Amino acid sequence: MTPDEFESKIPVYKISAQKQLNRQVPPAAHTPMYIWHKYWSRKTWNVIAEFVKTYCPENGIVFDPFAGSGIVAMEALKNKRRAIVADISPIATEITRLTIKPVSVEKLHEVYKTVEGKVKDKILDLYKTKCRKCGNEFPLTCAIWKQKRQSSDKPISRECIDIRYKACPKCGDRKEKDNPPNSFDFEKLKQIDEMEIKEWYPKNRLYHINGKPFMKKEKYESVDELFTKRNLQALAWLMEAIEEETNRDLRDFLKIAFTSMVHLCTTMCPISEGGHFTPYSSAWTQQSYWFPSGPFMEQNVWLKFEGSMIGNQGLLNGKNESNKYFKDVKFAQSFEEVVNGEADIFIYTGSSFDLIKQMRNVSGNSGCADYIFTDPPYDSSIQYGELAYMWISWLKKDEGYLEKIATDEVIHNKQQEKSFDTYHSLLSRSFEEMYSVLKPDAYLTVTFHNPTFKVRNATIRAGVIAGFELQKIHHQELARASAKSLLQPFGSAQGDFYLRFFKPPQDEKSIEPEAIDEARFEKIVIDTATQIIAERGEPTPYTILINAIDPELAKRGFFSELKTGLNINTVLESRLNNEFTLVKAKLGGAEGDLWWFSNPSNISHLEKIPLSERVEQTVLRFLQKQGRSTFTEVWDAVSREFPNSLTSDQMSIKDALKAYAKPISGGNWLIKPNSKQGEIERDHTIIIATLAKIGKSQGYDIWIGKVEQSHIIPESMNGGKKLGELVTYKNIRSLTNIQNPDTVEDIDLLWIKDDQIVCAFEIESTTSMTSGLQRGSNIDSSVPKFLVMPEERESQLFQKMKSPMFIERFQNDSWKVIYFGALTEEYMKSKGKTNIFKLENKKVVDKMSQKTSKNQLDLFNNKLKS
């Protein structure tokens, strides 16, 4: 196939007039409504809200076939959209339903108190210990155990090794660790071991219907083995009391509160030793039914249930919040009621394939969903079906469940006899089904958080083959991003990827990838990478590159890998030391590599000001306008100004924030006095006037930048007049050692003699240092040039000196650094006799010499390699 034939087969879609979301959305903290129940890979609510508002019209229908804990449904309803959601897991749809369903918080609290009256004392008696100081008896907070199992046909052996309590009610004694059980504790445990648990509890085996053990289980054989005897008895009593509640709705809320904490009562909660020591709490930290090799924490069942109901992140607080949003929401008995506008939400428990079949039978080819946002399972990363089984068993919703996930769960699980090819087939079917119910000229957003190329490629391929156009891969940082992840030369950043697919107005399919030749594949990869790095104007994370390259490939029928095995990774790696090089970088205490040009001078469209400096200036302008703000507000301002491939990482934003503001209470940042616009202009003007007076007294003509000439010299310098009155050289175009006089006339200050510049000065109070270097490059390289800046900007300068482009300009154009303090101090002593060359900062000189030595060593090593 010739290039022209290939291009002619690329579908040409009508350009949608839809406004696009091409920027990062700073994640907001989860409130109780979103976190009262654990669920895996929960997405940030406000990020989803932005996608919903952008791609679904008001009163339109949002569809989520892999709904999880229902955040998409919640954000749709909160923002005046309707929702149809499905999940194969009954616990997922129950969390969704009960988060949205209004309930009287007062009545819910009353039934909680009823349960408390029935079983609290009985349960707490199981945990009785004696104060080591005064002998008072009271319930412990938690106990530490160790366990082992020789084989599956032998019981688990467990031994209690530590007793912990926050405070004795009588004397206040506290035990965080190193408090072994005493005779009283051993007697209590012996009594419990001899008890028969008469109440119901789940004994479901952790095995699939084919007889194979769960993929994500270790030494446990059944649900009941996940608990100590004490906790199992306490849970059985608690569930029995909950089941006695006669009001079905209130009983459902109590039961879901039970499941929200039952995992915390298992033996899968390890103790924290080093780092952040939490003596009284732990969590289910692994995405498996894992058997801790070290000690685990047995947590007090009643205290956990109490927290799940009335704690800060408990159900009552969650319902107080959700009732405000969903008090008038109407639940549908069928999806047709939502489609017809008779209800707001339909929640389907079961296979999304079954639901979509029903939807397709009603809507035909026209579709009924205005927008689809979903987070399908990726490969074998999280075994949702298996992991939900413990909760489902306690809720008695397990009938037929294992059969359902065996046939319809979209997952890679060898124990279910689902290979990667089977998973990809199911995933492809999911995309085809979603395509069939989405209206034409509408969007599908798929979140993605598996870092492997194989899975990423499979996802993109499934979408494009189904008929979608992949338009963008949007990277959304975590609230607490990892610097290390950004510095992986062939890695993938932490956080989520949002794949934006578009269903075209006409029913056209993308071409098959077999039509692609390697030469064109390589050209797209290299050209796109070059464009992205050039736009950013600085060394760039690999993640940014692949997020731009993948959509470009997909538009042409490519995917990230050809049948030959050629992929983005191998193409870019083969061009190291040709078009590209890896540059060492340090970010947030982590070290790694970023991508840069081997020869930047060959890049005609290279952005002259690095992205990090443009971001820095945006942060400063925002602070000057607002005075004080939160980090999230600053991040949002930056993301709006720099979308797409110009997305900035959080750490660069934080560095700029620290330079110009100081943290205050309430998570706010207050602009520093010397960063305010008036203070900056005042200091800037004083330094220019000072240098102008020194130059004039030493016999030089003076030029001051065109913008600065209108600034008023402060009265403290016997001023009151404009800087322009200090100018003695009138015609920049007469200078003989410059290029581009229009640029040179913007330089802050020039000392001139005999129509030649003798010294140039850029006063960098807050402005872009690179801009100053760029202007100075229009003066002969032998002319001494000075960056004059406040001492507070030293760390910013040293950070910029890590940039290859910055350091090259700095060295080649004879730049030096003087700090404000050193200049003003010397001027007070020497006035017009000030020798500016003696003021050059020694730390910068040392830094430069280290950099020069390293550059020479790198050059030597590269010669050896070649």
Question: Over the stretch 748-763, which tens digit does the pLDDT of each residue have?
Answer: 999 999 999 999 999 9
pLDDT at 476: 77
Residues contacting 350, CB < 8 A, separation 6+: 86, 88, 404, 408
Segment 269-293 shows an average pLDDT of 86
Q: Is pLDDT larger for residue 848 or for residue 458?
A: 458
Token couple for 385: 């079906």
pLDDT at 29: 87
Rounded Cα distance between 241 and 233, Å, is: 13
Average pLDDT, the chain: 87
Residues of the chain with CATH 1.10.10.10: 609-671
pLDDT at 514 over 50: no
Residues linked to residue 787 through DSSP beta bridges, in sequence order: 762, 817
Q: How far is CA 764 from the centre of its chain?
A: 33
pLDDT at 5 over 50: no
Q: Is 113 helix (H, G, I), strand (E, B) or coil?
A: helix
pLDDT at 639: 86
How would you class 266 by CB atoms within 10 Å of its CB: exposed for 0-12, middle for 13-18, buried for 19 or more? buried
Rounded Cα distance between 562 and 568, Å, is: 10
Helix orientation angle between 542-555 and 453-465, rounded to the nearest 10 degrees? 30
The top-scoring range by mean pLDDT among 261-270, 610-619, 681-690, 812-821 is 261-270
Q: How confident is the model at residue 2 (pLDDT cuts 50, 70, 90)?
A: very low
- Residue tagged 């009588």 (tokens): 170
Find the range with the poorest average confidence among 71-75, 251-255, 280-284, 588-592: 588-592
Is 549 within 8 Å of 521 (Cβ atoms)? no
Q: How many CB atoms lie within 10 A of CB 836?
A: 22
Of 717, 726, 830, 738, the C-alpha closest to 785 is: 738
Q: How confident is the model at residue 465 (pLDDT cuts 50, 70, 90)?
A: confident
pLDDT at 715: 77
pLDDT at 526 over 50: yes
Q: How confident is the model at residue 6 (pLDDT cuts 50, 70, 90)?
A: very low
Segment 122-139 shows an average pLDDT of 97
What Cα–Cα distance (Å) separates residue 103 from each residue in 15, 106, 116, 345? 46, 9, 20, 17
Q: Residue 150 carries which DSSP code?
A: S
Is 395 within 8 Å of 90 (Cβ atoms)? yes
Helix orientation angle between 248-262 and 105-125, rounded to the nearest 10 degrees? 50
Segment 782-805 shows an average pLDDT of 85
Segment 150-176 shows an average pLDDT of 94
Is 272 within 8 Å of 114 (Cβ atoms)? no
Rounded Cα distance between 626 and 66, Å, is: 41
pLDDT at 846: 67
pLDDT at 606: 84
Segment 4-33 shows an average pLDDT of 66
pLDDT at 563: 58
Q: Is pLDDT larger for residue 635 or for residue 336?
A: 336
Q: pLDDT > 90: what percent of the chain?
A: 59
The type of residue at 4 is: D
Rounded Cα distance between 411 and 385, Å, is: 9
Rounded Cα distance between 714 and 474, Å, is: 49
User: CB-hemisphere CA count at 13 Å for 40?
Assistant: 22
Kindly report the CATH class assigned to 609-671. mainly alpha
What is the enclosing helix (H) or strand (E) of 459? helix 453-465
- Residue tagged 């907001």 (tokens): 28
pLDDT at 106 over 90: yes
What is the enclosing helix (H) or strand (E) of 704? strand 701-704
pLDDT at 61 over 60: yes
Q: Tell me the longest C-alpha to C-alpha distance in the chain.
A: 104
Q: How confident is the model at residue 679 (pLDDT cuts 50, 70, 90)?
A: confident
pLDDT at 490: 54
Segment 600-623 shows an average pLDDT of 87
Q: pLDDT > 70: what percent of the chain?
A: 89
Residues contacting 772, CB < 8 A, separation 6+: 747, 748, 762, 764, 787
Find the range with the poorest average confidence among 426-440, 682-696, 806-820: 806-820
Question: Over the stretch 813-858, which tens digit does the pLDDT of each residue have?
Answer: 889 999 999 998 999 888 878 888 889 877 776 665 554 434 433 4
Question: Over the stretch 348-375, which tens digit does the pLDDT of each residue have?
Answer: 999 999 999 999 998 888 899 999 999 9
Of 690, 686, 709, the C-alpha closest to 698 is: 690
What Cα–Cα distance (Å) separates residue 304 from each residue in 241, 254, 262, 739? 16, 13, 8, 74
Is 656 within 8 Å of 799 (Cβ atoms)? no
pLDDT at 144 over 70: yes
Residues contacting 251, CB < 8 A, separation 6+: 111, 242, 243, 245
pLDDT at 242: 98
Q: Which string of DSSP letters, residue by residue, matches 502-522?
A: EE-SS---PPPGGG--HHHHH
- Residue tagged 């006899």 (tokens): 417
Is 449 within 8 Å of 497 (Cβ atoms)? yes
pLDDT at 239 over 70: yes
Of 794, 840, 796, the C-alpha closest to 816 is: 840
Rounded Cα distance between 74 and 71, Å, is: 5
pLDDT at 301 over 90: yes
pLDDT at 690 over 50: yes
Find the range with the poorest average confidence among 4-13, 392-401, 545-554, 578-587: 4-13
How would you class 860 by CB atoms within 10 Å of its CB: exposed for 0-12, middle for 13-18, buried for 19 or more? exposed
Q: How many CB atoms lie within 10 A of CB 38?
A: 17
Q: Is pLDDT larger for residue 288 or for residue 554?
A: 288
Segment 803-808 shows an average pLDDT of 80
Of 592, 556, 661, 613, the C-alpha closest to 771 is: 613
Q: How many CB atoms lie within 10 A of CB 50?
A: 17
Question: Over the stretch 68-98, which tens digit does the pLDDT of each residue have?
Answer: 999 999 999 999 999 999 999 999 999 999 9
- Residue tagged 């939490």 (tokens): 278
Rounded Cα distance between 435 and 223, Å, is: 39
Q: How confident is the model at residue 101 (pLDDT cuts 50, 70, 90)?
A: very high
What Cα–Cα distance (Å) separates residue 704 from each residue in 178, 273, 820? 72, 63, 18
Q: Is pLDDT larger for residue 863 or for residue 698?
A: 698
What Cα–Cα distance (Å) separates residue 655 from each residue in 640, 660, 819? 18, 9, 20
Protein fold of 3-90+336-508+544-559? Rossmann fold (3.40.50)
Compute the Cα dihedral for 548, 554, 558, 561 and give only its sign: positive
Rounded Cα distance between 225 and 229, Å, is: 9
Question: Over the stretch 556-567, which tens digit does the pLDDT of each residue have?
Answer: 666 666 555 678
When computed from its CA atoms, the radius of gyration of the chain, rounded to whole angstroms, is: 33
pLDDT at 850: 53
Q: How many CB atoms lie within 10 A of CB 466?
A: 22
Q: Is 60 helix (H, G, I), strand (E, B) or coil?
A: coil
Token couple for 600: 């930047």
pLDDT at 281 over 60: yes
Residues of the chain with CATH 3.40.50.150: 3-90+336-508+544-559
Segment 687-699 shows an average pLDDT of 94
Find the range with the poorest average confidence among 451-465, 536-550, 607-621: 451-465
Ordered strands of the 661-663 beta sheet: 628-630, 668-671, 661-663
- Residue tagged 């730390």 (tokens): 843
Of 609, 601, 633, the C-alpha closest to 619 is: 633
Q: How many residues does the chain have?
A: 866
Is 168 within 8 Å of 134 (Cβ atoms)? yes
pLDDT at 788: 94
Is 858 within 8 Å of 850 (Cβ atoms)? no
- Residue tagged 């490059």 (tokens): 777
pLDDT at 589: 61
What Cα–Cα distance (Å) separates residue 317 from each residue in 105, 106, 312, 330, 602? 9, 11, 7, 22, 60
Segment 419-430 shows an average pLDDT of 92
Alpha helices in 471-512 (DSSP H): 483-486
Is 335 within 8 Å of 369 (Cβ atoms)? no
